[in-house]
């Protein structure tokens, strides 16, 4: 039953995105996604911080690049292509990019969805919808003041947080400390 649901959802997502991407990329978080897909039919999984937190603490063999961004944040949009490029270059290197959107609910349909579609963004996009920012910001990183863009890179051995925008070279260099 569960499998059928996941399969149906995957099909729905693929049709929805219309890009025919390999299902593997979106498969990882489908079970969580099933719960949150029932609201307003946004094309991306929507989490409160409790729901997002497991994505920040996976203990598998992958290195995760978690980027916090929003469509209203200009420097975030400027660095997005670098994350896309790294995702493409490093996809066989056990690197996974997750773009955590902090767009406000009224922007999900009007701005976020069109942006991701028009820019043909291939990285996984999830929405963090949790207004209790003073509680969850320090849980991502104690040093984070709340500015975006901000990026967390981690694997089961180490983690590093950056409250800044990246150039392609800087991102590559930061990542190189995580992959062997």
Partner 1 sequence: MKTKRIFGFFALLLIFGASFAMGISAAKDHIVDDGYGIGDVAADFSLKNVDGKMVSLSDYANAKGFLVIFTCNTCPYAKAYEDRIIALDKKYKSKGVPVIAINPNTKSGDGFAEMQERAKEKGFTYPYLHDEGQKVYPQYGATKTPHVFLLEKTQTGNVVRYIGAIDDNYQDASQVDEKFVENAVDALLAGKEINPNTTKAIGCGIK
Q: Which two tokens stand for residue 12?
A: 């729905």
Choose between 43 and 137: whose C-beta lies nearer to partner 1: 137
Cα distance between residue 176 and residue 173, in whole Å: 5
Question: What is the smallest separation between the CB atom of 105 and partner 1, expressed in angstroms?
Answer: 7
The two beta strands, 150-154 and 95-101, are: unpaired
Q: Is 75 in the site for partner 1 (CB under 8 A)?
A: yes
6 binds partner 1 (CB under 8 A): no
Give kind and range of the element (H or E) at residue 47. Answer: strand 46-47
| Cβ distance to partner 1 smaller for residue 23 or 105 | 105
CB-nearer residue toward partner 1: 91 or 111: 111
What is the rounded distance in angstroms from the CA atom of residue 148 to the CA atom of residue 128?
Answer: 13
- Supply the DSSP symbol for 65: E
Q: CB of 117: closest distance to partner 1 in angstroms?
A: 21
Note the residues at the interface with partner 1 (CB under 8 A).
Answer: 72-75, 102, 104-105, 107, 131-135, 137-138, 143-148, 163-164
């Amino acid at each position: 039953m569960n499998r059928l649901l996941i399969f149906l959802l995957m099909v729905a997502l693929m049709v929805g995105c219309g890009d025919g991407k390999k299902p593997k990329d979106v498969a990882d978080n489908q079970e969580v996604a099933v719960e949150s897909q029932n609201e307003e039919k946004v094309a991306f999984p929507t989490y409160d911080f409790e729901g997002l937190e497991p994505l920040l603490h996976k203990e598998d063999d992958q290195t995760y690049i978690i980027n916090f961004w929003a469509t209203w944040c200009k420097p975030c949009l400027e660095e997005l292509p670098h994350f896309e490029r790294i995702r493409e270059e490093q996809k066989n290197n056990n690197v996974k990019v997750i773009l955590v959107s902090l767009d406000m609910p009224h922007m999900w349909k009007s701005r976020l969805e069109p942006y991701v579609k028009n820019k043909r963004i291939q990285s996984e996009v999830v929405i963090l919808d949790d207004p209790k920012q003073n509680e969850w910001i320090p849980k991502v990183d104690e040093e984070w003041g709340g500015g975006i863009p901000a990026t967390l890179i981690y694997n089961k051995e180490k983690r590093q947080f950056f409250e800044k925008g990246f150039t392609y070279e800087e991102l590559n260099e930061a990542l190189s400390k995580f992959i062997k």
